[in-house]
Structure 1
Amino acid sequence: MARVLITDDEEPMRLLVARAIAMDGHETVTAQDGAEALDILIREEGAFELLLTDIQMPVMDGIALALSAARDFPRLTILLMTGYADQRERASNLQAIAHDVITKPFSVADIRTAVADALASRNS
């Protein structure tokens, strides 16, 4: 199964997503903001199949994280999450590097499906 780095500044969301993804056998690592996630990516030399990140976060937002991750780890699949329409619009310019944007709130089934689709696209 895949290693997934989950980045969200809201702990309940990080835990929910981590539990949902773990149901499918994926290994999860969590970070509370983009800067922490980037540190983890660098420290682990990009040893993840998927970066699942919220867009709006303090310190480093998900778009800055996605741009840095795509530049430094081009094989990493990126899936963005947001609860804000304006953030979804900002992310529309990232189609070349981000697989998709999932809108919050979402169900456990929705996030599991989005992760499965992102990982399947990686293998095709």
Structure 2
Amino acid sequence: MTQAPVQTAQMQKILLAEDDNDMRRFLVKALEAAGYEVISFDNGLSAYNRLREEPFELLLTDIVMPEMDGIELARRASELDPDIKIMFITGFAAVALNPDSQAPRNAKVLSKPFHLRDLVNEVSKVLAA
């Protein structure tokens, strides 16, 4: 008899918005292996529409994406749910950190390239905070 994977009392849900298909697949695989439930989209608008349907503990988003960029997505996500945690994954960290960007102040920024282990560690820290 095989045993089901061990789950926490409540599996934490992450909404991932990343337009690079390979990157998105790697991120989903790493986060699911760490025990998170991950719903992913390849653009900000689709991710925003899903946020309007159900709550998530974390929005993990790229900044530069088609249809709606990650900063706009994060701003709107914060309006929908002030308690949602936000983390940017980007090659453009200076954009996210720019005070004029209107990115949520408490958002975490992880600069590309990064190791998947570092991503999982940062996600767990953000969710535990």
Structure 1 unaligned blocks of 5 or more: none
Aligned to 1:71: 79
Corresponding letter in the other structure for 2:63? I
Percent identity among equivalent residues? 37
Length, aligned pairs only: 118
Structure 1 residue 85: Cα displacement? 4.3
Greater C-alpha radius of gyration: 2
Is the counterpart of residue 27 in structure 1 residue 37 in structure 2?
yes
What value does the CA root-mean-square deviation take over the aligned residues? 1.7
Structure 1 residue 90: Cα displacement? 3.1
Greater relative contact order (Cα < 8 A, sep 6+)? 1
Structure 1 residue 89: Cα displacement? 3.5
Aligned to 2:127: 119
2:47 to 37, 51, 70: 37
Task: Select the structure that is richer in helix.
Answer: 1
Q: What is the rounded CA distance, in whole Å, between the counterparts of 2:18 and 2:76 in structure 1?
A: 17
Q: 3-state SS of the aligned residue for 1:58?
A: coil
Corresponding letter in the other structure for 1:28? V
Contact kept, 8 Å, 2:85 with 2:126, in 1: the verdict is yes
Corresponding letter in the other structure for 1:116? S
The TM-score with structure 1 as length reference comes to 0.87
